[in-house]
Structure 1
């Protein structure tokens, strides 16, 4: 299953929800929304600084991840960035592909 790293920061309203529910409540909410599209929460970490939390998710396909991202962002409770993660084996496969490329000015 494809893996994704999600980096997110709460809006003021989202942070109020975190304060009310605690980390356990938000983790349960993430697990619920992710499983609703056939995904799985691998891990979640809360942080402070520019981002408020990071999680690694498994999804059966890109469309499922996109559906979750759009729905959660539309709530206005957070701002997020989703990064596809590749395995070592996938990078090995990509490195073996023949690519026709000409750099600018060459």
Structure 2
């Protein structure tokens, strides 16, 4: 998938009313934000964000269900990190690294 152009702060500020109007009209296009053509963030419509968050929550529910089917329960640390992942506060890679660090230290 090809990336869109990256808007700098000044350009994003100028285009923000039009971008929000596009989202209100149903546009699902993402808007990349950054500097020097390097994206550091992305602006997405709420419905796209909600869908992505729902997919994360569903993935966590599936993982917990698989554990329970094996007669196991996730640890309190795993449950906390899964919640952070599901809410979009950490990435899957960060969650994995934190879980590995926790279990190596234990």
Judge same fold: TM > 0.5, yes or no: no
**Relative to total residues, which structure has the larger strand share, 1 or 2?**
1
**Relative to total residues, which structure has the larger helix share, 1 or 2?**
2
Of the two structures, which has the highest relative contact order with CA contacts closer than 8 Å and spacing of 6 or more? 1
TM-score (norm 2): 0.27
* Greater C-alpha radius of gyration: 2
TM-score (norm 1): 0.27
